Structure 1
Amino acid sequence: MPGPNRKNIRQRYEKERRRNLLAQPGPHEMIIVLDRLKAGYNIPKIFRSAEAFGAREVHLVGIDTFDPAPAKGSFRKVPARFHDDFSACHTGLVAQGYELFLLDPAGGSLLQEAPLPPRSAFVFGHEEFGPSFERAAYPDLQCLSIPQFGSVQSLNVSIAASIVMYEYVRRRLGSGGG
């Protein structure tokens, strides 16, 4: 049986996006920012993890239609905020008191060693090209990396997002600190 065609995906997306308007923020102040990710399976899988880990919202920068089916209903449960560019997203989050962290497999503070305040926003760039912006334009953006020990240079973005969300929640449930 062939997979869904573009028209069916678009219809499903529009239906779920309308349902998303009723989504309630998760119990944690953590926000996930997806910066121009490919519109494949990773976006809905990240919504699924965001719902499981109680993320407040998922911000989508430069992302339009994607198939929400792999989210298993989570796209309607986690509020989605849409931005045309990273600048607008950054400005809004900083105004709300969020500290922003860019996940970068090439360097930065190790996830397990970095302080993660309650209002943390984690930015994940395009799987192949990285973030859509010049990092120098955002000096407040802190880089984080997830330690890896194999020869692979980076993790799948949905796996990396899940690890980051788990670490954030683990700290909230553990010692109560960042």
Structure 2
Amino acid sequence: MAGNMGRRFNKRKDMLLRFERARRRNSVSAEPGVHDCILVLDGLKPDFNIGKIFRSADAFGALEIHLIGIRAFDPEPAKGSVRWVPFTMHDDFAACYQILKQRGYAVITMEPECSMQLTHCTLAKKTAFVFGHEEFGFSFDPIQFPDIQRVSIPQWGRVQSLNVSVAASIALYEYVRRHGKKKASLKADLHAEEMERCLM
């Protein structure tokens, strides 16, 4: 019993050390992604899915990630992506929501039982997808925020349950499918930025 507790303590301590190293690198290297899409992670478990979502956010060029009620997480599953994707921590969803609305964002909660499906919903260019805890869902009641759009991912299996990191990847793909920058234009934008820096 004592041995198991000691191993769990050491595992958490190692995770916190990895997180602090990743956060320091992030503060120096992270830059907003090329798309106006934001991910909001509400109280997710710290050990696995958050890192994988950072990896997808980097791959799809998400602007940034907001973390609700999450003090630390294991960056290892991100395979280095935590270094590049900006993230902000909030104590509660209401504070995050207010910031997003002030910036003109449409907010979408991803919920498995909603009738409105991701493939048919309105996706504004400035969209923030919100994902809840793997077991307990959201820390807030979406009904209390009337302008939030509640959306599900269509599924055909008997078990209507997708891993949250998979759901985030699907949401990002659908966003990029509709609003994604073409790589050629992206290279042109980056070239223009480099030229501008040289002239300054």
State the partner residue of 2:128: 121
Q: CA deviation at 1:67?
A: 1.1
Q: CA deviation at 1:21?
A: 1.4
Counterparts in 2 of 1:85 and 1:50: CA distance versus 1, 3 Å? same
Match of 2:34 among 4, 27, 30: 27
Structure 1 CA distance for aligned equivalents of residues 14 and 59 of structure 2? 27
Match of 2:15 among 9, 20, 23: 9
Q: CA deviation at 1:6?
A: 1.9
State the partner residue of 1:154: 161
Contact in 1 for aligned 2:110/2:152 (Cα 8 Å): yes
Match of 1:133 among 140, 143, 151: 140
State the partner residue of 1:100: 107
Structure 2 CA distance for aligned equivalents of residues 109 and 28 of structure 1? 24
Structure 2 CA distance for aligned equivalents of residues 136 and 144 of structure 1? 13
Contact in 2 for aligned 1:36/1:132 (Cα 8 Å): yes
**165-174 or 54-63: which moved more?**
165-174
Structure 1 CA distance for aligned equivalents of residues 180 and 60 of structure 2? 11
Between Structure 1 and Structure 2, whose CA radius of gyration is higher? 2
State whether structure 2 residue 69 is matched by structure 1 residue 62.
Answer: yes
User: Across the two proteins, how many residue pairs are aligned to each other?
Assistant: 174
State whether structure 2 residue 29 is matched by structure 1 residue 36.
Answer: no
- Tell me, what secondary structure is at the counterpart of 2:53? helix
More helix by percentage: 2
TM-score by length of 1: 0.93
- Tell me, what secondary structure is at the counterpart of 1:100? strand
Q: CA deviation at 1:136?
A: 2.0
Structure 1 CA distance for aligned equivalents of residues 163 and 12 of structure 2? 24
Name stretches of at least 5 consecutive residues in structure 1 with no aligned partner.
none
Contact in 2 for aligned 1:108/1:142 (Cα 8 Å): no
Structure 1 CA distance for aligned equivalents of residues 142 and 129 of structure 2? 14
Query: What does the per-residue CA deviation read over 1:107-166, in whole Å, with 9 as the maximum and x for residues that have no partner?
Result: 141101111111000000111111100122111110011000011122000000000000
Structure 1 CA distance for aligned equivalents of residues 115 and 108 of structure 2? 10
- Tell me, what secondary structure is at the counterpart of 2:130? strand
Contact in 1 for aligned 2:108/2:128 (Cα 8 Å): yes
State the partner residue of 2:178: 171
Matched-pair identity in %: 55
Structure 2 CA distance for aligned equivalents of residues 6 and 115 of structure 1? 41
State the partner residue of 1:18: 24
The one-letter code matched in structure 2 to 1:26 is G
Structure 1 ranges of 4+ moved more than 6 A: none
Contact in 1 for aligned 2:35/2:180 (Cα 8 Å): no
The one-letter code matched in structure 1 to 2:150 is C
Contact in 2 for aligned 1:10/1:65 (Cα 8 Å): yes
Contact in 2 for aligned 1:103/1:144 (Cα 8 Å): yes
Structure 2 CA distance for aligned equivalents of residues 173 and 120 of structure 1? 13
Query: What does the per-residue CA deviation read over 1:65-105, in whole Å, with 9 as the maximum and x for residues that have no partner?
Result: 21101101101100011000000000000000000000000
The one-letter code matched in structure 1 to 2:76 is A
